[in-house]
């Protein structure tokens, strides 16, 4: 027992020295401040007027939110009564995970829009589904009595099969989104990264060793990712496709009633470009999967209903085939380069 106690005390002493040393050289914990989320009914949204530096093994970037709680280039008020504005709806790819606002495709578009007297609001929140974003838009319109000129509804293969799902049973603790079931353990892990430089040192160090020496790459090789593109997916059933089209038609009716232009933006997943290669490596028949289904699904809907579609998939595909890196190595979100491609394409399509 005395030996075990001596070993434990020695380890604790070493960790304390490491903690002090890391802080002395400026290696602070990942999240010294609170998170960026706020409770929103049984779901969540972004907090208002915050600035938060997000530090992860894959990337570091800064998040600002405006007076409405939407991601923006800076905190503070927005005068939306003075000029027309448009809004973007979507999830983490539209929010711009991993890049500053100016480097996100919404930020690229906003810069050009400002030159034409058009304001841009980014309502996207990582983890939101279509219904969450629709509720956020309607809440904003109801509270402010303001209507956007244009709504860009950004859709991707991850959320189309979940078009009728919404977040629920969510609890927000210290600005972090956690499922209410078993939230305490998840919260303790978050707090460890929030207060301990040593914890972050070991966590990030393991990731960097995996990346540098083991050729490790975080990818979308989960069963869910493969199931999204499987030809056996339920979204391919005629009844399910009809339900999806009916949902979109209902949202289109809402926009028409409020004299809002609706533009669809198809957002491919970064790993969809190498889907066939991935399934071959896993020993699965590539013919059982189809990466083009969702693009064709939304294109058919738009053509049938006379809706406008902006589809950057071909230019991203071309960049990928030219050997360009479109995503972060330790995170499958689009990097700064890919965001610029999408933003420039959107600017060219709309302006």
pLDDT in tens, 71-90: 999 999 998 988 999 999 99
Contact partners, residue 146, CB within 8 Å, separation at least 6: 80, 81, 85, 140
Contact partners, residue 194, CB within 8 Å, separation at least 6: 29, 30, 31, 32, 174
How many domains are contained in the chain?
2
- pLDDT averaged over the chain? 89
Q: Quick check: is 99 in a domain?
A: yes
159/300 same-domain check: yes
The mean pLDDT value for 265-277 works out to: 94
Predicted local confidence at residue 179, as pLDDT: 84
215 vs 115 pLDDT, higher one: 115
342/254 same-domain check: yes
Contact 294, 236 (CB under 8 A): no
Q: What is the pLDDT of residues 226-259, one digit of tens each?
A: 889 999 999 999 999 999 999 999 999 999 999 9
Predicted local confidence at residue 282, as pLDDT: 79
Q: What are phi and psi of 9, to 5 degrees?
A: -65, -40
In this structure, what CATH number is given to the domain that contains residue 122? 3.40.50.1110
Q: Quick check: is 250 in a domain?
A: yes
Minimal CA–CA distance to 22: which of 201, 190, 205, 202? Answer: 201
- Crossing angle for the helix pair 336-350 and 313-321, nearest 10 degrees? 140
159/284 same-domain check: yes
Q: How far is CA 13 from CA 196, 204, 217, 220, in A?
A: 14, 21, 34, 40
Question: Poorest-confidence range of 52-66, 76-90, 258-272?
Answer: 52-66
Tell me the percentage of the chain whose pLDDT exceeds 90.
64
Degrees, nearest 5: CA angle 335-336-339: 85
26 vs 108 pLDDT, higher one: 108
20/59 same-domain check: no
The mean pLDDT value for 179-194 works out to: 76
pLDDT of 215 over the 70 cut: no
237 CB burial (10 A radius; 0-12, 13-18, 19+): exposed
In the structure, what pLDDT confidence band is assigned to residue 221 with cuts at 50, 70 and 90? very low
The mean pLDDT value for 191-216 works out to: 69
Count, in order, helices (H) and strands (E) of the chain.
12, 14
Q: What is the pLDDT of residues 106-152, one digit of tens each?
A: 999 999 999 999 999 999 999 999 999 999 999 999 999 999 999 99
20/74 same-domain check: no
Contact 37, 95 (CB under 8 A): no
pLDDT of 101 over the 50 cut: yes
Predicted local confidence at residue 218, as pLDDT: 43
pLDDT of 269 over the 70 cut: yes
pLDDT of 162 over the 80 cut: yes
The mean pLDDT value for 261-285 works out to: 91
21/73 same-domain check: no
Predicted local confidence at residue 220, as pLDDT: 44
Q: How far is CA 43 from CA 130, 172, 177, 189, in A?
A: 13, 9, 9, 21
| Other Cβ atoms closer than 10 A to 226 | 18
Q: Quick check: is 59 in a domain?
A: yes
Question: Poorest-confidence range of 4-13, 180-189, 268-277, 334-343?
Answer: 180-189
Predicted local confidence at residue 280, as pLDDT: 83
CA quadruple 260, 264, 265, 268: dihedral positive or negative?
positive
Question: Poorest-confidence range of 40-49, 78-87, 174-183, 239-248?
Answer: 174-183
296/323 same-domain check: yes
Degrees, nearest 5: CA angle 239-240-246: 90
Q: What b/e string do you get for 119-146 counting C-beta neighbours within 10 Å, with b at 16 or more?
A: bbbbbbbbebbbbbbbbbbeebbeeeee
H or E element in which residue 151 lies:
strand 150-156
Tell me the percentage of the chain whose pLDDT exceeds 70.
92
The mean pLDDT value for 34-49 works out to: 92
Three-class DSSP category at 110? helix
10/73 same-domain check: no
81 vs 36 pLDDT, higher one: 36
Q: Quick check: is 75 in a domain?
A: yes
Predicted local confidence at residue 32, as pLDDT: 52
Q: Quick check: is 257 in a domain?
A: yes
12/150 same-domain check: no
Which domain does 17 fall in, by range? 1-28
15/122 same-domain check: no
Predicted local confidence at residue 283, as pLDDT: 81
The mean pLDDT value for 40-55 works out to: 92
Predicted local confidence at residue 273, as pLDDT: 94
164/282 same-domain check: yes
237/273 same-domain check: yes
In the structure, what pLDDT confidence band is assigned to residue 219 with cuts at 50, 70 and 90? very low
Q: How far is CA 289 from CA 177, 218, 271, 323, in A?
A: 33, 21, 13, 23
H or E element in which residue 350 lies:
helix 336-350
Predicted local confidence at residue 285, as pLDDT: 86
């Amino acid at each position: 027992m005395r030996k075990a106690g001596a070993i434990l005390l020695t380890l604790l002493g070493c960790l304390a020295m490491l903690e002090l040393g890391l802080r002395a050289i400026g290696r602070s914990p990942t999240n010294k401040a609170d998170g960026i989320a706020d409770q929103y009914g049984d779901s969540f949204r972004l907090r208002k007027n915050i600035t938060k530096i997000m530090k992860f093994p894959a990337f570091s970037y800064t998040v600002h939110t405006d007076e409405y709680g939407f991601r923006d280039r800076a905190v503070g008020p927005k005068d939306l009564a003075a000029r027309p504005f448009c809004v973007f709806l979507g999830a983490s790819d539209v929010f711009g995970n991993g890049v500053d606002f100016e480097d996100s495709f919404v930020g690229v578009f906003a810069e050009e829009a400002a030159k034409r007297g058009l304001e841009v609001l980014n309502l996207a929140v990582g983890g939101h589904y279509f219904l969450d974003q629709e509720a956020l838009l309607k809440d904003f319109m109801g509270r402010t009595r303001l209507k956007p000129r244009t709504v860009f509804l950004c859709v991707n293969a991850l959320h189309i099969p979940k078009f009728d799902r919404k977040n629920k049973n969510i609890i927000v603790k210290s600005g972090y989104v956690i499922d209410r079931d078993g939230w305490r353990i998840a919260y303790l892990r978050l707090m460890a990264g929030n207060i301990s430089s040593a914890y972050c040192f070991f966590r990030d160090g393991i990731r960097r060793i995996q990346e540098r020496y083991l050729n490790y790459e975080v990818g979308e090789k989960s069963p869910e990712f493969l199931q999204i593109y499987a030809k056996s997916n339920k979204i391919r059933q005629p009844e399910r496709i009809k339900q999806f089209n009916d949902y979109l038609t209902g949202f289109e009716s809402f926009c028409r009633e409020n004299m809002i232009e609706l533009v669809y933006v198809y957002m491919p997943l970064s790993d969809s470009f190498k889907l066939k290669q991935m399934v071959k490596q896993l020993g699965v028949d590539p013919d059982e999967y189809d990466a083009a289904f969702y693009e064709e699904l939304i294109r058919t809907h738009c053509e049938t209903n006379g809706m406008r579609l902006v589809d950057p998939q071909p230019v991203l595909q071309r960049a990928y085939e030219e050997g360009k890196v479109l995503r972060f190595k330790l995170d499958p979100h689009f990097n700064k380069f890919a965001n610029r491609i999408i933003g420039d394409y959107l600017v060219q399509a709309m302006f």
